[in-house]
Chain A
Amino acid sequence: MDMKRDYYEDVQLFKSNVVLFWSAALLLVLFTIPLYTPNYYIYLFNIIMVHIILAVGLNILVGSTGQISLGHAGFFAIGAYGTVLMMTTFQLPFVLAILIAAFIAAFFGFILGLPALRLEGPYLAIVSLGFGLTIMHIIGGMDVFGGRMGVKVPPLDLGIKQLGISWILTTDFQKYYLILITTIIMVVGARNILKTRVGRSFVAIRDSDIAAEVIGVNLTIYKTLAFAVSAFYAGIAGGLFGFVLGFFDPFTFNMILSIIFLVMVVVGGLGTIAGGIMGAALITYLQYDLLKNIAEVPYFGALMVAVSKQWFTVVGLENFSSMAIGLIMIGIIIFEPLGMFGVWIRMKKYWMTWPF
């Protein structure tokens, strides 16, 4: 059923009318979400989508090309700071600003890709980690970037100031649509990258870089390109993130964030677009919403408070969510090494071959 007979079948966006139908249905749901969802969830959706863009980009690097990065918060920061600076200092319109910022991030990605030509595994992890820390530190140390104080984000104006066109997005609803459209474009873009010559080169590098070189994949170009593409995604995500938040300081982009990004990709499923999306959604949701204010949950909360009083400290009860997230992460990897994407494949197989 999943057999591909020719190249064009492989690259088409919708494999069948069924897929097309469900895609359209999903889009419809996504576009109408604000109409029946409480206001405060929109913020969560925005954050999730920003993380999706980043996770999809990171997955191109980690999942498809097989390079590790613990410094993606650095690119994220470049995107956020770059966009805001372009808009405030150079008075550029938003779309141009975010693209320039993303290209700056991509350039830094290219730079980080250079040592990656010789390094692998934990060595590369440390270099990228050092990169992330350095970016955070440089931004924090320079007054152009607002220093440790952080910067306030200007109003999100989609128009062009110089032409007198102004279309300012203020509410989370309006930002939701901007981010949703960007996310869709970026996700479709990532899918297209992976289906082309470039994407196949990435996969070849992941499976064996030396073999890839032998069959004619230029390692220098494609490895650095993978970093640049991934950093570009992070840059776009960072630019949007700044506007979702309205204010940020360098410490927002700390190393823990880089690690969380990596966790999203691995938990979601390495090397697949859907994996990045699912991982970002799940981890963000867990972090931001699930198991918060545990003491206020009926029955269970009271039980936990009693347990805390007996053996633990009540003031530390909130840490229960951290424990739960840790266990969920471990559980997913133990029972499904392919991450949530693996679960999805299994469900699909079960459905398609039912009742056997």
Chain B
Amino acid sequence: MVEGLAIGACYGLFATAVVIIYKTSEVVNFAQGEMAMFSSFVAFHILSAYQYPFWLAFVITMLFSILLGILIEFLFLRPAKHPSILGMIVITLGAEMFLMGLASWKWGAEQKFFSLPLNPSVTYEPVKGMIITNWAIAVFAVTACIMLFLYIFFKFTRLGVAMRATQQNKHAAKIMGIRTERIFSFAWGFSSLIGAVAGMFFASRATLDPAFMMEPFLRAFAAAVLGGLMSIPGVIIGGALMGLIENFFGYFWPHWKPIIAFIVIILVLCLRPSGLFTKHYVKKV
């Protein structure tokens, strides 16, 4: 149960990265998974090739992931002239293929080992039958920190308010003196960073290889949609629900585990077309 919740929180964390970009620029970033994968590989490379201590590698990776996000936005998305939403999606898909190719070229396709400095066999059992692992605690802690930070950030800082303004009306924001382009760079960098953190959690749970973020990305995207794509707490709850549903049904019907979550989401969306936690806004003609 807790394990499912932790996985769900991980999906939620990753979905937050998707949502930050979607919130500012209405682009579903299909390269998100591969950006996280690439950052995790960089961490792996620093750890294995230079033997730096973990925390140093972690900081370098975080810086790198921000840079990666900004670079992708700057090189691939910004030059596009009046792209349609679908065009933007194709650009992110192109970026995805590019990053995947580059990572496989650099590090080969073999699975790699990646671990966080947590002892996996240390577990706690506060209630009988409820086992909490170190990994889950770390996921919960990090997710909570990031949530808190995001809340304060969007509510109280100038930059956060500017980001929200950009999302609501790009042109008005521009007129009000907000440098919207800088906001986009920032959103991409920030989202890439959160993605990289989530990516490392996933990598330490499974293995690290160039395709390892495909499935989590899909789940996270679905979780984001379930939560409503616009509200960050909604997304985290969506992710948690996703993890719980999967593990609950996966226990009884392992055969249908991969799709059960999607079926639930389809049903939910039929009832609430904009996800669970956003108000369904009425479109004006």
Contact = CB atoms under 8 A, between A and B. Distances in A.
A and B touch in the complex (CB under 8 A): yes
Top 10 nearest A-B pairs (CB, nearest first) are A130-B262, A326-B97, A322-B101, A326-B98, A323-B101, A329-B94, A330-B94, A319-B104, A319-B101, A316-B105
Interface residues of A, number: 51
16 contacts: A115-B269, A118-B273, A119-B273, A123-B269, A130-B265, A210-B283, A214-B285, A266-B90, A313-B108, A316-B105, A319-B100, A321-B101, A327-B94, A328-B94, A330-B98, A334-B83
Interface of B: 22, 28, 30, 76, 79-91, 93-102, 104-109, 218, 221-222, 225, 229, 255-256, 258-259, 262-263, 265-266, 269-270, 273-275, 283, 285
A158 to B, nearest CB: 37
B221 A317 contact: no
A211 interface: yes
Q: Tell me if A's interface is mostly helix, strand, loop or mixed.
A: helix
Contact of B82 (A129, A312, A327, A337): A337
A334 B262 contact: no
A334 B218 contact: no
Nearest to B270: A115
Contacts of A324: 101
Given A129-B262, A141-B256, 5 more contacts: A122-B28, A134-B259, A325-B97, A329-B91, A337-B81
A130 B93 contact: no
Contacts, number: 153
A131 B80 CA distance: 31
A131 B221 CA distance: 15
A313 B105 contact: yes
A334 B81 CA distance: 6
Given A122-B22, A263-B93, A327-B98, A337 B87 contact: yes
Interface in A109-145: 115, 118-119, 121-123, 125-127, 129-131, 133-134, 137, 141
Tell me the interface secondary structure of chain B in the complex.
helix
B91 A322 contact: no
Contacts of A166: none
Contacts of A327: 94, 98
Chain B CB within 10 Å, residue with most, of A115, A208, A320, A333: A333
A52 to B, nearest CB: 18
Most A-side CB within 10 Å, residue of B94, B102, B109: B94
Nearest to A141: B255
A95 to B, nearest CB: 33
B114 to A, nearest CB: 18
A319 B105 contact: yes
B269 A333 contact: no
A313 B263 CA distance: 41
B105 A308 contact: yes
A47 interface: no
A151 B89 CA distance: 34
A156 interface: no
Contacts of B218: 129, 255
A270 B101 contact: no
Nearest to B102: A323
A348 B222 CA distance: 43
Pick from A119, A141, A323 the residue with the most CB of B within 10 Å: A323
A316 B262 contact: no
Nearest to B78: A334
A258 B256 CA distance: 21
A325 B258 CA distance: 29
Interface string A51-69: 0000000000010000010
A211 B80 contact: no
Nearest to A117: B273
Contact of B108 (A133, A311, A316): A316
A264 B104 CA distance: 24
Contacts of A311: 106
Contact of B87 (A118, A126, A316, A333): A333
Nearest to A329: B94
A52 B233 CA distance: 43
A157 B94 CA distance: 40
